[in-house]
Amino acid sequence: MMGAMLPALRVTDLHKYYPDGVHALRGLALEVPAGSFFGLLGPNGAGKTTLIGVIVGLVRAAAGHVFVFGHDAVADAAAARMLVGLAPQEVHLDRFLTTREVLTYHARYFGLGRAEADERADELLDAFDLGGKARTRPDRLSGGMRRRLLIARALAHRPRLLILDEPTAGVDLELRHELWRFLRRLHQEQETTVLLTTHYLEEAEELCERVAFIRDGLIVAEGETRELVRSADGRRRLEDAYLEAMH
Amino acid sequence: MSAPPSDLRRAQWRGTLALAGRETRRVLIVWTQTILPPVLNAFLFLLVFGGALGGRIRQIEGLPYLTFILPGLVVMTVANQSFGNNATSIFQAKREGYIEDVLTSPLRPWQLAAGYLSGGLLRATLTAGIVVLVGSAFAGGVANPLLAVLALTLTGLVFASLGIVAGIWAETFDQFSLVANLIIAPLALVGGVFYAVGNLPQPWATITRLDPIYYLVDAARAGFTGFHESSVMASLMVATVVAAGLFALAVMLLDRGWRLKP
């Protein structure tokens, strides 16, 4: 089937200049295979969040193309966005809605019917252990709960490509491992492609089949995680490959 | 596999309705801020101008003063509430970042604008509806309900669209209140709500005729009482063009992501 062969994400020659003169993306090119768990690693200011912004339509690129499962993210934006779920780095949740409504409204923005959205919300509340907080407003949730809600919201419309922008930043160790378990299960059972950005290299090593290193708006290295850490003594870590790529 | 175009269209319609539902919910949740104050405000105007001063002014153009000012008060209520609702809703969503939830959705810019528009129109309908119901008990019935509804709907569309534009434009509370307090409020006060232009000396009559709100008030007054000073048809046509223009501007700003997307 033609659709199955398309990459989840294909980015070509992407440029982004901000009004303050920062050239955030400098001809970036990237391909994320469908069904993969893909890590995008780089220091602060490398262009990770800008790239994600362009993919989901929150940032306007100056030049280049982004295709989501073959759909141009600009020319065919609506079709592309239907396939993407984003859990952004910053926690921004609608304060007029309850936890459950955050999920139902999001699902409905993406076209789920009311009953289906309710059902999906309950399913996600259970999966993310938020069932007891269904009627609570997001600003009354703990930091970890808000982070979980953000990921649940990204999944509400059953996207084929899930983008997680530093999902475990500021999350305690226990919850981080819990999220890892959930993401692994999601990836395996539902064949969702996951694009993960993180500062925690052990997180990328633990979860990602492939990783790309980004620096100054360009991909400087990319490959399968196990290849990048392969060495004669078996003691090489992703951190070593990262440091090599960054210098 | 991606959704076929018909599924995508259905998803977008559902999404638009959901956004309209969210805006409706916001209006109803904070009803002490969205419904109660404007209704009280309009009643105070009716009490002060219609009750206390009305006894001295008696009649304008053969109409009891309360009957004369009610349509203008309703237009003011619709204008302020539809504008304020949309400008606040978008400004809050933008400032707190959760506007990303709808900006990353498959909704087209005009569908986003339509979703936001509905909140302002609902708030205007609820507040104006209460003012009309209570005010009519003292000011008399509505002469031409269809015309009154048409004039008020156009008023709502003009100011709800303007509210979207202002919400996108405003980056601070000061900018946001600038439009409400320094543009809409003065225009409403000199828009012929409390007087007939025919009774005014120059240059006030000309100033009032230059105020776009005057034509909305006059058209609404024609609907409520049958009395009007300018061409109702011309007023409605101009209001239609202005509403369409402002809605198109809102859609264009959402499409370009002006002040929404870097």
* Residue B124: domain span: 5-256
Whether B134 maps to a domain, the answer reads yes
Q: Determine, for residues A81 and B262 on separate chains, whether the beta-carbon distance falls below 8 Å.
A: no
Q: Determine, for residues A71 and B2 on separate chains, whether the beta-carbon distance falls below 8 Å.
A: yes
Which residues share a beta bridge with A9?
Answer: A32, A68
Q: In chain B, pLDDT over 70 holds for what percent of residues?
A: 95
What is the reported pLDDT for B249? Answer: 98
- Give pLDDT tens digits for B159-179: 999 999 999 999 988 888 888
Name the residue in chain B with its Cα closest to that of A77: B106
Whether B144 maps to a domain, the answer reads yes
What is the reported pLDDT for B190? Answer: 87
- Chain B contacts of A59, Cβ < 8 Å? 261-262
Whether B149 maps to a domain, the answer reads yes
Q: Residue B121 and residue A181: Cα distance in Å, rounded?
A: 46
Beta-sheet strands, E only, within A47-179? 63-68, 71-72, 84-87, 161-165
Which residues share a beta bridge with A163?
Answer: A86, A195
The answer on pLDDT for A194 being more than 60 is yes
- Give pLDDT tens digits for A67-90: 999 999 999 999 999 999 999 988
What is the average pLDDT across A214-223? 94
What is the reported pLDDT for B5? Answer: 65
pTM, two decimal places: 0.91
What is the reported pLDDT for A1? Answer: 42
Chain A interface test: which of B14, B33, B107, B111 (most A C-beta within 10 Å): B14
Q: Residue B15 and residue B26: Cα distance in Å, rounded?
A: 16
What is the reported pLDDT for B39? Answer: 87
Whether B252 maps to a domain, the answer reads yes
The values of phi and psi at residue B6, to 5°, are -65, -35
Q: Residue B53 and residue B201: Cα distance in Å, rounded?
A: 21
Place of tokens 């295709």: A67
Q: In the predicted model, what is the mean pLDDT of chain A?
A: 91
- Give pLDDT tens digits for B88-139: 999 999 999 999 999 999 999 999 999 999 999 999 999 999 999 888 887 7
Q: Residue B151 and residue B167: Cα distance in Å, rounded?
A: 24
Instruction: List residues of B whose CB lies inside 8 A of any A CB.
Output: 1-3, 7-8, 10-12, 14-15, 17-19, 21-22, 25-26, 29-30, 93, 96-98, 100-108, 257, 261-262
What is the reported pLDDT for A170? Answer: 74
Domain chopping of chain A, boundaries:
2-83+159-246
Residues of chain B with pLDDT under 70: 1-5, 50-58
With CA atoms as reference, report the closest residue to A3 among A67, A69, A65. A69
Q: Residue A11 and residue B14: Cα distance in Å, rounded?
A: 30
What is the reported pLDDT for A2? Answer: 45
What is the reported pLDDT for B3? Answer: 60
Contact yes or no for A176/A148 (Cβ under 8 A): no
Name the residue in chain A with its Cα closest to that of B102: A109
**Token pair of B168 as six digits:** 């996108």
**Token pair of B142 as six digits:** 């509505």
Q: Determine, for residues B102 and A78 on separate chains, whether the beta-carbon distance falls below 8 Å.
A: no
Q: Residue B187 and residue A25: Cα distance in Å, rounded?
A: 47
Task: Write the DSSP string, A34-97.
Answer: TT-EEEEE--TTSSHHHHHHHHHTSS--SEEEEEETTEETTTTHHHHHHTEEEE-SS----TTS
3-state DSSP helix/strand/coil % of chain A, to nearest 5: 40, 25, 35
Give the A window 129-168 contacts with B, CB below 8 Å: 153
**Structural domains of chain B, count:** 1
Interface residue A62 vs chain B (CB under 8 A): no
Neighbouring CB atoms inside 10 A of B251's CB total 19
Q: Determine, for residues A94 and B21 on separate chains, whether the beta-carbon distance falls below 8 Å.
A: no
Name the residue in chain B with its Cα closest to that of A71: B2
Q: Determine, for residues B10 and A83 on separate chains, whether the beta-carbon distance falls below 8 Å.
A: no
Whether B262 maps to a domain, the answer reads no
Q: Determine, for residues B257 and A60 on separate chains, whether the beta-carbon distance falls below 8 Å.
A: yes
- Chain A contacts of B8, Cβ < 8 Å? 78-79, 82, 111
* ipTM given for this complex: 0.91
Whether B147 maps to a domain, the answer reads yes
Domain A2-83+159-246 has CATH 3.40.50.300: yes
Q: How far is A182 from chain B (nearest CA, A)?
A: 23
Task: Kindly tell me the burial class for residue A235, based on how many C-beta atoms sit within 10 Å of its own C-beta (0-12, 13-18, 19 or more).
Answer: exposed
Q: How far is B81 from chain A (nearest CA, A)?
A: 19
Q: Determine, for residues A59 and B262 on separate chains, whether the beta-carbon distance falls below 8 Å.
A: yes
What is the reported pLDDT for B179? Answer: 86
Q: Determine, for residues A110 and B17 on separate chains, whether the beta-carbon distance falls below 8 Å.
A: no
Q: Residue B12 and residue A236: Cα distance in Å, rounded?
A: 49
Give the A window 213-242 contacts with B, CB below 8 Å: none
Contact yes or no for A184/A206 (Cβ under 8 A): no
Q: In chain A, pLDDT over 70 holds for what percent of residues?
A: 97
Q: How far is A57 from chain B (nearest CA, A)?
A: 6
What is the reported pLDDT for B195? Answer: 86
